[in-house]
Structure 1
């Protein structure tokens, strides 16, 4: 009983596998067989990578090189088969010309309707196979048969390269299944069919392997692109969290000062009017409430692992450009030679601007240490009427830099800081081989902001 049940289960499994294979065969070769599926041109990036020495105008037309090759092959097939029609009589000549048109149309059709091109090529293959097997005068029929065989192999290869690898097996089975049945019906000799089938199988397996490799490579590129975008997005969020943490400290400091001054103000005036005392009390209560809400919302973004240049005391005030000397001492002790040039009249700036300017200089010097060991660096700070300009440039490294997995993330953070303050920033390699970071942060009504 158990053996019978096991046998029935095996048969059902095999029936499901066969049903699934037939369903896939129907979906691949019969459903929408002549659907319009144009082959896109090559990507500009591939052309630039393969032939970077070509002029841009020629590279633009080179995108259509595969289409040109397939079209040229179809034209060669037509000319080769058309020349065979000379000297075979008017009736056979007309039939031969029509056959030449059909055979040569199939490769060209792979550019637009690949599965339909297979069926058209299979028709020519079957006609030539039947003519070769049924006729004995076979000088012309064999020639046309060889042309049809070669063209059908090329068409199936193009279809596999354009669609999916499993079509190689499906088209091979359909082609030689129909060929074997037709040869048996016309009473021909099937001696040449097995070696031809074996050769077709080898070519189609190679084409399927190439297609599978291309698909896998495309998948890897897409995965790497998504991973890079996700990494950039995560880095951007981390940088924004860091900025929020720092601005939290700045705003919390100002709100604390407001609360303290509002509480002390009534005691500085004798006989304070009740209305004024009430107003100061309201100001203090609102400031304390806002400070508590600010700490509740933004306090969670405090980092437990500050960067290498951050102060070890989590309660220490956020750095400003006045703290630049300690930063320069740190990087100089790490082996980086730094020159500082300050133009314009230094003046107090809003704390958010001071903090961002300090962080930009810090990150640029940190990148110079990591990616340009042994190079000299120059820091230029320009106080102008509309804001502050920063330029940090380093020279060519004197030795190889160690691999850094976070390359590019510091530039992303600097750019986010500058954009948050409405400024502009550029970061690129210099002509000498170094790297330059230039930023401008606008500051409006500086005096008014500081007195407020």
Structure 2
């Protein structure tokens, strides 16, 4: 039993000691440290609504409002007191209010000192809980609550009550007409309600800021993850393209000596070296990108199927039309084989853009333009305005990131923006070098179904 009491006593002592340590840290340690009131943020709603020049001055609106209120209060207190003592009384109650601009915790100590000074020398008109001192001290506590943590508000409120009890006990007998008890109860009740409301408002504002910051961080991480996923898909597809060509090099190098009679030993050794290097490069490529190739992010795609090219666009557009989206397909210029990476990226960009139209512009019509020009390949996918609301789609805007990654990989240019008619337009140009434009794509005829690109896209109409 004794051990239990000792343990409880130690716990209580520990709690009291911790509370005193926090009180000393909040109100005594560096109480008069210089902590100026910061201006409004540059992205504050009020600053953004005003012109740029006026917005620079609007950032100091809280300071101007506080100074204006304090000056008005000083003038009102001076007129109320009148005489020579009026200006002194006004400055006495206004000084703590102005101090909150630079030293918030110190302003509370100044206000508490004014209360104690008024209890000694203030007389009846400037007694400790007179209207002037009442409003001044309450204003100081509210400003300090807005600028510090809620715990400081509770500590200030309790110390104010302790100061009131002290003044009531020691000065009531000397100045009974002041009525410390009733005034103190009203002050504590009203200040407690107001400080609780201010602390709740500050907590709600901080919570909204934290949620906004978390949403921004989440959006950045989601965009980064989308870019990484798209790069993974690109790496997987490049692995297929490079592996195909390296396999062709290895097979042709192995078969070349058998196509020539009496092949010189030097030539056969050269072909053998070419084949060994090609096989080694292919093995190394598969070893590095094997994990990417085996992940298979598309659940409905055949991992062994050849990668699609522009020859598969009619099949893709047919599938989109069967899904209920009217699509017009136009091809201009001299159709010619392009490098497989260019054709694959072009196919994926058109596929993603049409998927966005299906997702974000229900009931709209789309048009796909493929232009073979001298310096490369031009793509344009545009849709009209939807005739009904689209269902909410999570991850909006990330499909555009994937398309931009593909275009940037090839050194091209891309724009994605809303049209004046209420639709959306995606335009891209993929450059092709003169030597690359004559290179065959080297891919077999793809199947009619097109696999999605694997990015959570949103960049079509209404995104």
What TM-score do the two structures reach when normalised by structure 2?
0.88
Pick aligned residue for 1:45 from 30, 43, 62: 43
Contact 1:373 1:400 in 2 (8 A): yes
Counterpart position of 1:333: 322
The structure-2 alpha-carbon separation of the partners of 1:240 and 1:451, relative to structure 1 and needing over 3 Å to count, comes to: closer
Answer yes or no: is 1:281 the counterpart of 2:272: yes
Counterpart position of 1:120: 110
**Alignment RMSD:** 2.2
Counterpart position of 1:164: 149
The structure-2 alpha-carbon separation of the partners of 1:180 and 1:162, relative to structure 1 and needing over 3 Å to count, comes to: same
Counterpart position of 2:70: 74
The structure-2 alpha-carbon separation of the partners of 1:430 and 1:367, relative to structure 1 and needing over 3 Å to count, comes to: same
Q: In structure 2, how many angstroms separate the alpha carbons of the residues matched to 1:141 and 1:108?
A: 19
Contact 2:339 2:437 in 1 (8 A): no
Deviation of residue 153 (structure 1)?
0.5
Counterpart position of 2:445: none
Range moving further from structure 2, 122-131 or 235-244:
122-131
Q: In structure 2, how many angstroms separate the alpha carbons of the residues matched to 1:230 and 1:282?
A: 47
Query: What's the secondary structure of 2:126's corresponding residue?
Result: helix
Structure 1 stretches of 5 or more lacking a match? none
Deviation of residue 102 (structure 1)?
4.1
Deviating runs (4+, > 4 A) in structure 1?
Answer: none
Counterpart position of 1:198: 189
Deviation of residue 142 (structure 1)?
4.4
Pick aligned residue for 1:253 from 225, 244, 256: 244
Pick aligned residue for 1:424 from 387, 410, 413: 413
Q: CA-to-partner distance for each residue in 1:303-342, whole Å, 9 max, x for gaps?
A: 434166xxx4321111111111111001000011111222
Answer yes or no: is 1:64 the counterpart of 2:56: no
Counterpart position of 1:103: 93
Deviation of residue 10 (structure 1)?
1.1
Pick aligned residue for 2:302 from 307, 313, 318: 313
Contact 1:364 1:437 in 2 (8 A): yes
Contact 1:125 1:145 in 2 (8 A): no
Q: In structure 1, how many angstroms separate the alpha carbons of the residues matched to 2:233 and 2:192?
A: 60
Deviation of residue 85 (structure 1)?
4.8
Q: CA-to-partner distance for each residue in 1:140-160, whole Å, 9 max, x for gaps?
A: 324993212101101110111
Counterpart position of 2:364: 375
Structure 2 stretches of 5 or more lacking a match? 442-463
Q: CA-to-partner distance for each residue in 1:166-207, whole Å, 9 max, x for gaps?
A: 111011112221222133222344322122111111111111
Deviation of residue 288 (structure 1)?
0.7
Equivalences for residues 434-445 of structure 1 within 5 A: 434-445=423-434
Equivalences for residues 286-297 of structure 1 within 5 A: 286-297=277-288
Query: What's the secondary structure of 1:272's corresponding residue?
Result: coil
Deviation of residue 99 (structure 1)?
4.2
Answer yes or no: is 1:390 the counterpart of 2:372: no
Pick aligned residue for 1:152 from 137, 146, 157: 137
Contact 1:128 1:145 in 2 (8 A): no
Contact 2:126 2:133 in 1 (8 A): no
Counterpart position of 2:447: none
Answer yes or no: is 1:141 the counterpart of 2:126: yes
Pick aligned residue for 1:29 from 24, 27, 30: 27
Q: In structure 1, how many angstroms separate the alpha carbons of the residues matched to 2:299 and 2:427?
A: 22
Deviation of residue 385 (structure 1)?
2.4
Deviation of residue 61 (structure 1)?
3.0
State the structure with bigger RCO (CA 8 A, min sep 6), 1 or 2. 2
Contact 1:350 1:450 in 2 (8 A): yes
The structure-2 alpha-carbon separation of the partners of 1:331 and 1:144, relative to structure 1 and needing over 3 Å to count, comes to: same
Q: In structure 2, how many angstroms separate the alpha carbons of the residues matched to 1:400 and 1:334?
A: 17
Answer yes or no: is 1:175 the counterpart of 2:160: yes
Pick aligned residue for 2:260 from 259, 269, 272: 269
Query: What's the secondary structure of 2:379's corresponding residue?
Result: strand
The structure-2 alpha-carbon separation of the partners of 1:446 and 1:338, relative to structure 1 and needing over 3 Å to count, comes to: farther
Answer yes or no: is 1:15 the counterpart of 2:13: yes
Query: What's the secondary structure of 2:425's corresponding residue?
Result: strand
Q: In structure 2, how many angstroms separate the alpha carbons of the residues matched to 1:203 and 1:165?
A: 12
The structure-2 alpha-carbon separation of the partners of 1:282 and 1:323, relative to structure 1 and needing over 3 Å to count, comes to: same
Range moving further from structure 2, 408-417 or 299-308:
299-308
Contact 2:157 2:192 in 1 (8 A): yes
Deviation of residue 101 (structure 1)?
2.6
Q: In structure 1, how many angstroms separate the alpha carbons of the residues matched to 2:94 and 2:397?
A: 53
The structure-2 alpha-carbon separation of the partners of 1:356 and 1:144, relative to structure 1 and needing over 3 Å to count, comes to: same
The structure-2 alpha-carbon separation of the partners of 1:122 and 1:206, relative to structure 1 and needing over 3 Å to count, comes to: same
Q: In structure 2, how many angstroms separate the alpha carbons of the residues matched to 1:79 and 1:393?
A: 67
Q: In structure 2, how many angstroms separate the alpha carbons of the residues matched to 1:219 and 1:150?
A: 33
Q: In structure 1, how many angstroms separate the alpha carbons of the residues matched to 2:55 and 2:341?
A: 49
Equivalent pairs counted in the alignment come to 434
Contact 1:248 1:298 in 2 (8 A): yes
